[in-house]
Amino acid sequence: MSNILQEIESQIAGLKTAVTKSNVGVVREIGDGAAKIEGLSDVMLNEMIEFPGGLYGLALNLEEAEVGCVLLGSGEHIKAGDEVRTTGRLLSVPVGKGLLGRVVNTLGEALDGKGEIKGDAQYPVEKIAPGIITRKSVSVPVQTGIMPIDAMIPIGRGQRELIIGDRSTGKTTIAVDTIISQAKQNKAAEQGKLQGHKPLYCIYVAIGQKQSNVARVVKTLEDAGAMEYTVIVNASASDSAVNQYLAPYTGCAIGEWFMDQGMDALIVFDDLSKQAVAYRQVSLVLKRPSGREAYPGDVFYLHSRLLERSARVNENYGGGSLTALPIIETQAGDV
């Protein structure tokens, strides 16, 4: 008997238990790609929430008794009463030169069937824009290859230039031609034909577009040899409103990596009017107060915080730049 007691005492003495602390909540209501969660007492804005089955959500509404969360995938298997937990991290995507020539979704996952994306780092989707001290005046031009634009309204590296017009007026064509022009200049510089040219890498963000239109853009860039300098972020019309709302921020994070490494990048948002519609849908599902035409009050901040991330930074911060060409579609000329 004494031997048994000694063995039990030795096992108890050698027992080591690891205490883990997790913030757990319960799904109270789910539907239309959004969930209301109770019990998450310690959660950050835009924090990723882990659902059963490996699904993640994004905390957008932080209220006293509940958290409003949008799902980053299909929530068909999620039901009321399911347990969720916080992750302690914000939504981030892979960035780096490994994305050049690839087509990715809002989460940075491959859509082109060419294998897994190999990024150099992870960048947060939401990021504070460069401050006043870090910026530098715009002085280096972006040669779009379109003579009237380059002659009369030249675009500089680090600038934001809006392309606005009705449907089927050639807005996307201007942006695609600009990307092709950069590829030609980059190749000429590599061959030594264009002295002093700094390569300009391109990101094309397709928001709410038809899959056939995006495939046509990819084919055009491949035929022109421009895909090797380009990343395409696609949130098509068949994707959820959350993905369409987040796609421009994903593209901007990819472009910011180039800027932070001292390189120059060009990003095209095609188009931001569809992103505003997607954000309106997300806000209505989360039951946020709506304003004119049911848009939420912060719809202007939606775009300003995105476009302010485009800048030219001084040499102390790498000397890179991010140029933005946002596209807006008007209705019969109504601006």
Kindly list the averaged pLDDT for each block of 10 residues, start to end, along the chain of length 335.
74 70 88 90 90 92 92 89 92 94 94 91 93 93 92 94 92 95 94 88 96 96 95 95 96 96 96 95 92 91 95 94 96 75
Q: Which H or E run contains 173?
A: helix 171-190
Residue 333 exposed, middle or buried by CB count within 10 Å (0-12, 13-18, 19+): exposed
- The CATH superfamily label for domain 92-329 reads P-loop containing nucleotide triphosphate hydrolases (3.40.50.300)
64: left (phi over 0), alpha (psi -120 to 50) or beta: alpha
How many Cβ atoms from other residues are within 10 Å of residue 81's Cβ?
A: 9
At position 290, the amino acid (one-letter code) is: S
Whole-number Å distance between alpha carbons of 24 and 161: 45
Q: With CA atoms as reference, report the closest residue to 325 among 307, 300, 311, 312.
A: 307
Supply the pLDDT for residue 4.
78
Q: Are 245 and 282 in contact, with CB atoms under 8 Å apart?
A: yes
**13 by DSSP, 3-state: which?**
helix
Q: Are 280 and 208 in contact, with CB atoms under 8 Å apart?
A: no
R_g of the chain computed on alpha carbons = 24
Whole-number Å distance between alpha carbons of 158 and 156: 6
Residue 187, both tokens: 């190749």
Domain ranges of the chain: 24-90, 92-329
What confidence tens digit (pLDDT) does each residue in 115-147 have? 999 899 999 999 999 999 999 999 999 999 999
Whole-number Å distance between alpha carbons of 251 and 204: 8
Supply the pLDDT for residue 75.
84
What confidence tens digit (pLDDT) does each residue in 276-335 have? 999 999 999 999 999 888 999 899 999 999 999 999 999 999 999 999 999 999 987 776
Q: Are 326 and 266 in contact, with CB atoms under 8 Å apart?
A: no
Residue 205, both tokens: 């963000």
Supply the pLDDT for residue 189.
92
Whole-number Å distance between alpha carbons of 104 and 117: 8
How many Cβ atoms from other residues are within 10 Å of residue 216's Cβ?
A: 14
Q: With CA atoms as reference, report the closest residue to 118 among 109, 127, 126.
A: 109
- Locate tokens 């969660």: which residue? 37
Supply the pLDDT for residue 2.
66
- CATH, domain 24-90, list 1.10.260.40, 2.40.30.20, 3.40.50.720, 2.30.40.10: 2.40.30.20
